[in-house]
């Protein structure tokens, strides 16, 4: 059964790349890193009931398992190339495997990612995906380069995935016939990794992180790594039309500040580089919104006098 499941995954995710010398089917993949490139590697695990609600469509789970990892590469300014998938299932259900593989493959083909190996085993439902990408030597973005005076930007919009989770949890009854409700649920189930935006801002940003645990938490990681503070204007946060339409503006802003699963990029840019950065984003059909500034000090604070302590910090797997 295990090997039949592996065959199903391989058949549904097949994508040829010249740099894959040996892919699925042996004890290890053999891969060729292009000359003049460094290898960026990331891994994430998605667990049922923690990272995706029980009952989520397998195609959406497969998509998200890859998307959250591509988002990590995007935050480094890396171009994705290969992936490994470790799949744990309570039962060898071929229909579930087919759905997972189809969703994974749909996003993989958008970004030219080849699945080159992995593992299947029996146990509680979870997926671990490792991704590999390329970045020119010395050009990978990190969390540690922000300096006082830099502007803070985010791509896309914030809080919609957290709004989708609120609907799933029944805090507002989910109406599948409501377009705004469907939009928020889709943002939860099928995040868009900002790979092209990451590559575009690579030459201009001083620091970058993807927003997976909430804006305040993740911008806080930049501040800690860079030895600086940040000020964020809640009124400047980019919101989808669906989010305040369903929850109202005040709750929408709270979700934008603290909600996880957005997988947008938060990055800092010296003011002299803002115009060039915006032009680079526009050239790849992306955009970013200025939401604040890097300042002397430490931690993230909201303009208007609201201290960070007044706002929930964001997702923490082992937090109280």
Q: DSSP states of 59-114 as a string?
A: HHHHHHHHHHHHHHHHHHTPEEEEEEEEEEESS--HHHHHHHHHHHHHHHHHHTPE
The share of the chain scoring above pLDDT 90, in percent, equals 75
The first and second tokens of residue 155, run together, are 């791509």
pLDDT digits (tens, 9 = 90+) for 147-200: 999 999 999 999 999 999 999 988 888 898 999 999 999 999 999 999 999 999
Q: What is the pLDDT of residue 12?
A: 67
The first and second tokens of residue 142, run together, are 């990190």
pLDDT digits (tens, 9 = 90+) for 231-240: 999 999 999 9
Measured distance CA(247)–CA(266) in Å, rounded: 24
Q: What is the pLDDT of residue 4?
A: 62
Measured distance CA(268)–CA(280) in Å, rounded: 15
CA distances from 299 to 41, 210, 235, 265, 305 (A): 28, 18, 19, 19, 14
Judged by DSSP in three states, 30 sits in: strand
List the domains of the chain with CATH numbers: 2-135 (3.30.1330.10), 151-310 (3.90.650.10)
Report the range of poorest mean pLDDT among 26-35, 101-110, 307-316. 307-316
Q: What is the pLDDT of residue 317?
A: 45
The first and second tokens of residue 222, run together, are 């930049």
Tell whether the torsion through CA atoms of 176, 180, 181 and 185 is positive or negative: positive
Q: What is the pLDDT of residue 91?
A: 82
Q: What is the pLDDT of residue 227?
A: 98
Q: What is the pLDDT of residue 120?
A: 85
- Cβ–Cβ under 8 Å, residues 127 and 104: no
- Residue that is written with structure tokens 């604070």 in the block: 301
pLDDT level of residue 55 (50, 70, 90 thresholds)? confident
| Whether the predicted pLDDT of 250 surpasses 90 | yes
pLDDT digits (tens, 9 = 90+) for 263-275: 999 999 999 999 9
The share of the chain scoring above pLDDT 70, in percent, equals 91
pLDDT digits (tens, 9 = 90+) for 74-115: 999 999 999 999 999 988 778 888 999 999 999 999 999 999
Measured distance CA(47)–CA(146) in Å, rounded: 33
Please give the radius of gyration of the chain, using alpha carbons only, rounded to the nearest integer. 20
Higher pLDDT pick, 165 / 52: 165
Residue 163 has a CB neighbour count (10 Å cut-off) of 31
Report the range of poorest mean pLDDT among 3-17, 27-41, 46-60, 258-272. 3-17
- What does the mean pLDDT of the chain come to? 90
| Whether the predicted pLDDT of 14 surpasses 70 | no
């Amino acid at each position: 059964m295990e090997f039949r499941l592996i065959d199903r995954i391989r058949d549904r995710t097949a994508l040829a790349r010249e740099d894959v010398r040996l892919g699925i089917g042996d004890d290890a993949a053999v891969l060729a890193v292009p000359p003049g490139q460094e290898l960026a590697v990331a891994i994430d695990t998605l667990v049922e009931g923690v990272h995706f609600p029980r009952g989520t469509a397998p195609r959406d789970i497969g998509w998200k398992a890859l998307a959250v990892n591509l988002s990590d590469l995007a935050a480094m300014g890396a171009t994705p190339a290969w992936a490994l998938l470790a799949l744990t299932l309570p039962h060898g259900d071929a229909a579930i495997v087919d759905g997972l593989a189809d969703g994974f493959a749909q996003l993989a083909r958008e970004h030219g990612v080849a699945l080159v190996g992995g593992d299947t085993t029996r146990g509680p439902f979870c997926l671990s995906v490792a991704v590999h990408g390329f970045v020119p030597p010395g050009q990978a973005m990190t969390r540690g380069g922000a300096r006082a005076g830099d502007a803070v930007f985010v791509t896309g919009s914030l809080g919609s995935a957290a709004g989708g989770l609120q609907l799933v949890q029944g805090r507002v009854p989910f109406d599948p016939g409501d377009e705004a409700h469907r939009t928020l649920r889709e943002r939860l189930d099928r995040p868009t990794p900002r790979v092209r935006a990451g590559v575009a801002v690579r030459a201009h940003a001083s620091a970058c992180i993807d927003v997976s645990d909430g804006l305040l938490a993740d911008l806080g990681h930049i501040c800690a790594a860079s030895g600086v503070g940040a000020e964020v204007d809640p009124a400047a946060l980019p919101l989808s039309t669906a989010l305040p339409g369903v929850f109202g503006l005040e709750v929408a802003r709270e979700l934008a500040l603290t909600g996880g699963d957005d997988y947008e990029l938060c990055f800092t840019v010296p003011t002299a580089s803002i115009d060039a950065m915006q032009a680079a984003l526009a050239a790849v059909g992306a955009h970013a919104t200025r939401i604040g500034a890097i300042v002397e000090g430490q931690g993230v604070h909201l303009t208007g006098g609201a201290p960070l302590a007044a706002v929930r910090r964001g997702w923490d797997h082992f937090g109280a």
